[in-house]
Structure 1
Amino acid sequence: MSSRGKKIFLAITIIVPMIIYCYIYYKPIIQNAPFRKDDFVSMQFRYGLKDTLENTYNSATGEYQYVNNKDSVIRKKVFLKADDILYMHRKANEIGLWNFPDTVGKKSEKSKMVPRYDITFNYKKKSKHVVIYGDFEGNPKLLDAAVEMRKVVQETLTLAERRSAPLK
């Protein structure tokens, strides 16, 4: 075989499959490219039992409403810092929130005490809305990732609330 034939054989057996592999691997990443931190507009987080989502947060308005352990409704203005938004955005990328299905779990008619969490990230061109039900019986890795994302959002809100509270 001539050296030209060897080069053609090398290109067909190694380079072409590598290009195909890169296309298949990076296509979903490129499609989700509009989820950039610079394009972030707002975030909504609502949670509660079953369909009663009485705990809400909207980062655009800063309105934070929740029910405390004394069953009192607390309304506050809590704004997130740029660092908080960056942290949540990076965690969402790390966890893979953009690839989550729209609903994690299913609405159950069995019990009225099933927690439900709605997380929405709004960007200039796209938004991602995920509903997480507490009685999920599917892929445990997906459930762990969804629970971790919920915890990240709740911890960030708790820290922002503590920062905005007046010192005593």
Structure 2
Amino acid sequence: MLKNAPFRSDEFVSFQFKWGEGNDLVNSYDSATGDYQYLNKKDSLVKTNVKLRENDIIYLHHKASELGFWNFPDVISNAGTDLNKSKVLRYVMQFNYKRKTKKVIFVTDYNEIAKLRDVAKQMETLLEQSINDAQERYGKKK
């Protein structure tokens, strides 16, 4: 199944990860540039640059394949949710390949299919943890 996957690791270019309440996605990371901005505990916007290692990127691609990210619906939200009006925390995960892109919006109050919610949450946690680990590595070098 992995050999026939529409998203191959040798064609991987980058990923973007954004999150916030409603349409206000002030927290973001772009693996292509390393640009990372987030609101800290004091609600101050922190802008920094954090580059992931190549093996981190490959790991995330393989975990996405393992979790079935390519089969996720484009929007994971409860039926009837108006994304333009909802103020619930959401995550936007986008993987970019040479010929294709997969973008998923995950609204955290989703409760219709528990397994889908759990794997979407797991994917979000993997991305967040990878970025935080890389930031910690960079922080220790300074």
Q: Same fold (TM over 0.5)?
A: yes
Question: Helix, strand or coil: the match of 2:28?
Answer: strand
Question: Helix, strand or coil: the match of 1:87?
Answer: helix
Query: Does structure 2 retain, via aligned residues, the 8 Å contact 1:46–1:118?
Result: yes
Gaps of 5+ in 1: 1-25
Structure with the higher fraction of residues in strand conformation:
2
Give the structure, 1 or 2, with the largest relative contact order (CA under 8 Å, sep 6 or more): 2
Distance change in 2, residues 1:79/1:167 (3 Å): closer
Q: Distance in 1 between matches of 2:127 and 2:134?
A: 11
Q: TM-score, normalised by structure 1?
A: 0.77
Corresponding residue to 1:97 among 58, 69, 76: 69
Q: Deviations over 1:16-39 (max 9, x none)?
A: xxxxxxxxxx6x973xx3311111
Q: Distance in 1 between matches of 2:40 and 2:82?
A: 25
Q: Deviations over 1:37-68 (max 9, x none)?
A: 11110100000011100000011111000000
1:99 partner amino acid: N
Q: Distance in 2 between matches of 1:111 and 1:130?
A: 16
Q: Deviations over 1:55-111 (max 9, x none)?
A: 000111110000000111100011110111011111101100000000011445886
2:68 partner amino acid: G
Corresponding residue to 1:122 among 96, 120, 128: 96
Q: Distance in 1 between matches of 2:76 and 2:3?
A: 21
**Does 2:131 align with 1:153?**
no
Corresponding residue to 1:139 among 113, 117, 127: 113
Structure with the higher fraction of residues in helix conformation:
1
Partner of 1:62: 34
Summarize the alignment of residues 41-80 of structure 1 with structure 2, pairs less than 5 Å apart.
41-80=13-52
Q: Which protein has the larger Cα radius of gyration, Structure 1 or Structure 2? A: 1
Q: How many residues align?
A: 139
CA-atom RMSD in angstroms: 2.0
Gaps of 5+ in 2: none
Q: TM-score, normalised by structure 2?
A: 0.90
**Does 2:9 align with 1:37?**
yes
